[in-house]
Structure formats: C-alpha cells, structure tokens
Structure 1
Amino acid sequence: MRLRLRDMRLILDVDLDALDGDAAAEVGRILRYWAGAAAQLPLDQAVSHDLMDSQYRAVGTFRIE
C-alpha cells in the first residue's frame, strides 16, 4: 500500500540497555548505516527492519509507517 510521503513517519527505536560497551558508538554506527541506506528505501511504503549492533544482535527497529 503506497501512502502520501507527507503522511509517513520514520522511527528509529534502539534499546540502549541492550547495547554492550560504548552505547554512543553503537548508536552512531547504527545511524551511519541507515543514513547511507536511506537513498535506497521506499519512503512512501510502510517497512520495518531490525536494528543490529556490531555483534549482529537485534537491538531495536527501524520503521517507516
């Protein structure tokens, strides 16, 4: 289902308690990854992706809704 772009929301939800080590560094890595991928995402479609830490453990979700 395609929606109007102005109706869409991008939500990045990270469980900071799930991050080991330097949480700020992990969040920065996650943000850089998704910033780079943004140009390839259909921003007018609802999607959901797991957010992975540097050890490839799910620590949150990236959603467009």
Structure 2
Amino acid sequence: MRFRLDIDMTDMTEEGQAAREIGRALRYWGGNLHHFALEPGDGSTITDSAHREIGNWRVVD
C-alpha cells in the first residue's frame, strides 16, 4: 500500500505561500488521519486557507 499526497502549487505564486499552504495542509491532515482506516480507497480533497481545492490524499494498493 502507498499513501499519496498531491498538491497543485501552480497558483501559489506569493513568496513563501507554497510552504505556508503545504505546511497547513500537512498539520491539518496529519492530525485527522486517525479518523480513517487508511485502507486502499480512503482519501480526501485538500483545500487551502481560502477553502479552494488544491489537491488530495489517497491510499492506493
């Protein structure tokens, strides 16, 4: 099994914005992963601080 995290940084053009948004996503999802079984097929979208979808995480076989 693999845990995949995909974040689109295309629109993160402000200096330091990518690091802030990715750090925020990792803290948020890292703290919430215990709510998931982490089995193949589990996953969710990832949003930025403005609640726009910027990626997803998923568990794959």
Normalising by structure 1, what TM-score?
0.77
Structure with more of its chain in helix, by fraction: 1
Divergent runs of 4+, >6 A: none
Structure 1 unaligned runs (5+)? 1-7
Q: 1:25 and 1:54, CA in 2 relative to 1: closer, same or farther beyond 3 A?
A: same
Q: Percent identity?
A: 36
- In the alignment, which residue of structure 1 is the partner of 2:50? 55
**Which of structures 1 and 2 has the bigger CA Rg?**
1
What RMSD over aligned residues (CA atoms) do the two structures have, in Å?
1.4
Higher deviation after alignment, 10-19 or 39-48: 39-48
TM-score (norm 2): 0.81
Unaligned runs of 5+ in 2: none
Tell me the SS of whatever aligns to 1:17: coil
